[in-house]
């Protein structure tokens, strides 16, 4: 176990010294957990193979699963990747922000950082602490989500500390992540075509504003077939899976409640849309009910999902039920994360 310093930054104007201290840790090859607008990241110098190895070790992550390199401004990608006109159209519209773009890598990015691939993922985060840290470090910061491999990405300092205390040098507590799900990942296929590898806050419709064709990788909404070639190494790893089985229910509230009652379990947990809470409370008085946000507000649900899954995971439930999101807009990102948490188990009740 290593000594981890936790630094709280709640006011950017008083943060300069803290940021500089964390930046020096990055420069000397250390590990710093920092907040972004999506989820917390576990960062290290992206130009150092040794630093990348440290990240893999701290997370318990297979080293063929590449890291995203975080840059301070879109044009910084020039030093590390082969950019294109479409990259700059994306940058102009969505950066800084929750978008990651896969580009051909230059030799300046060590193979360890990109998991041995000839491409590399770049992202320019909008969070002021992330941005200030990258600038102060003077190098791009390689960072996966700051969870132990296999558990949901952390969206609060508390969850980061649970996973990463003793495994990194510094944790910067910058409060709760605004969005709560990881960035949208796209790969540039050609100048008019993007392949969506991971949905996020930036939706396929948003992407269509700068690119005429948006292809959606099959693995975004379906389980990979045995032996199928993966487009993104992360797709093949088990993700976001709590200890209790998660079951997605697709139906209206009364039908779901009936199903839950018929399938006897002792310790039941349900993520319930805000409006449906009174009905669930009346019908399932013994179940633990978590408010999953308003039905029509996917961003509220995105903000809560990983937090709730992690909290639920501590309670040893026999089963965790959750609703099935639509496959459109921001809900596509929820759907993508939730089917993984549920190991693709959806009970259709309509």
∠ CA 145-146-148, nearest 5°, is 105
DSSP secondary structure letters along 160-195? HHHHHTTTSSEEEE--S-SS-SPPEEEEEEETTEEE
Q: What are the structure tokens assigned to 300, written together? A: 């509220």
Among 32, 143, 194, 244, binds ligand TXA (CB under 6 A): 143
Residues 42-101 that bind ligand TXA (CB under 6 A): 65-68, 100
Residue number closest to Mg ion, CB atom: 145
Closer Cβ to Mg ion, 202 or 260, answer by number: 202
What sign does the CA torsion over 282, 311, 61, 197 have?
positive
Give the shortest CB-10-to-ligand TXA separation in angstroms: 20
Cβ atoms < 10 Å from Cβ of 295: 15
Q: Is 177 in the site for Mg ion (CB under 5 A)?
A: no
Q: Toward ligand TXA, which CB reaches closer, 32 or 39? A: 39
Kindly state whether residue 83 participates in binding Mg ion, applying the rule CB under 5 A: no
CA distance 291 to 25: 39
* Helical axes 128-137 vs 16-27, angle rounded to 10°: 50
Our finding on whether 36 is near ligand TXA (CB under 6 A) is yes
Query: Which of 30, 41, 97, 323 forms a contact with ligand TXA (CB under 6 A)?
Result: 41
Q: Of 61 and 304, which CB lies nearer to Mg ion in the complex structure?
A: 61
Q: Where are the beta strands (DSSP E) in 14-118?
A: 32-34, 41-45, 68-70, 81-82, 99-105
Q: Find the binder of ligand TXA among 9, 22, 39, 157 (CB under 6 A).
A: 39
With contacts defined by CB under 6 A, how many residues of the chain interact with ligand TXA? 26
Q: Cα-flanking dihedrals φ and ψ of residue 131, to 5°? A: -65, -45
Stretch that binds Mg ion, among 132-140, 141-149, 282-290, 331-339 (CB under 5 A): 141-149
> Minimal CA–CA distance to 334: which of 181, 155, 215?
181
CB of 325 to ligand TXA, least distance (A): 19
Q: Pick from 81, 145, 155, 336 the residue near Mg ion by CB under 5 A.
A: 145
The minimum distance between CB 107 and Mg ion, in angstroms, equals: 26
Least distance from ligand TXA to the Cβ atom of residue 142, Å: 9
The least CB distance from residue 266 to ligand TXA, in Å, is 34
User: Binders of ligand TXA among 180-219, rule CB under 6 A?
Assistant: 182-183, 185, 197
Work out the angle between the directed axes of helices 157-164 and 298-313 (0-180°, nearest 10).
Answer: 40
Q: Are 46 and 113 in contact (CB under 8 A)?
A: yes
List binders of ligand TXA among 100-129 (CB under 6 A).
100, 102, 114, 117, 119-121, 123
Q: Minimum CB separation from ligand TXA for residue 151, in Å? A: 11
Site membership for Mg ion, residue 100 (CB under 5 A)? no
Q: Which positions ≥6 away from 111 have C-beta within 8 Å?
A: 49
Q: Which does 120 bind (CB under 5 to 8 A by kind): ligand TXA, Mg ion, none?
A: ligand TXA
Helix (H, G, I), strand (E, B) or coil at 49: helix
CB atoms under 10 Å from CB of 13, counted, come to 5
Site residues (vs Mg ion, CB under 5 A): 145
Site residues (vs ligand TXA, CB under 6 A): 36, 38-39, 41, 65-68, 100, 102, 114, 117, 119-121, 123, 143-145, 182-183, 185, 197, 232-234
């Amino acid at each position: 176990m290593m000594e981890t310093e936790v630094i709280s930054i709640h006011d950017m104007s008083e943060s300069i010294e803290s940021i500089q201290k964390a930046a020096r840790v990055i420069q000397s090859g250390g590990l710093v957990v920092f907040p972004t607008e999506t989820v917390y990241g576990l960062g290290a110098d992206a130009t150092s193979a040794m630093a990348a190895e440290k990240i893999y070790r701290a997370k318990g992550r297979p080293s063929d699963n590449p890291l995203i390199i975080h840059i301070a401004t879109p044009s910084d990608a020039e030093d590390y990747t082969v950019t294109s006109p479409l990259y700059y159209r994306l940058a102009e519209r969505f950066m800084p922000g929750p978008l990651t773009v896969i580009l051909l890598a230059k030799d300046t990015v060590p193979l360890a950082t990109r998991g041995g691939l000839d491409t590399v993922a770049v992202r320019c985060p909008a969070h002021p602490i992330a941005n200030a840290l990258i600038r102060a470090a003077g190098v791009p910061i390689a960072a996966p989500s700051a969870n132990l491999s296999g558990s949901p990405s952390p969206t609060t300092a508390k969850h980061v500390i649970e996973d990463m205390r003793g495994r990194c040098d510094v944790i910067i507590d910058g409060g709760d992540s605004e969005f709560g799900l990881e960035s949208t990942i796209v790969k540039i296929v050609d100048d008019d075509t993007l392949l969506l590898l991971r949905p996020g806050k930036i939706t396929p419709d948003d992407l269509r504003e700068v690119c005429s064709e948006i292809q959606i990788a099959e693995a975004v909404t379906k389980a990979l077939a045995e032996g199928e070639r993966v487009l993104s190494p992360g797709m093949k790893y088990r993700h976001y899976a709590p200890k209790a089985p998660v079951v997605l229910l697709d139906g209206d509230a009364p039908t779901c409640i009936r199903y839950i009652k018929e399938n006897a379990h002792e310790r039941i947990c349900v993520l319930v849309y805000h409006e449906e809470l009174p009905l669930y409370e009346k019908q399932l008085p013994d179940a633990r009910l978590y408010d999953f946000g308003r039905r029509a507000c996917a961003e509220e649900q995105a903000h809560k999902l990983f937090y709730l899954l992690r909290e639920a995971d501590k309670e040893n439930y026999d089963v965790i039920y959750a609703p099935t999101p639509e496959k459109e807009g921001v809900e596509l990102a929820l759907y993508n994360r939730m089917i993984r948490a549920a190991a693709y188990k959806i009970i259709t009740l309509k």
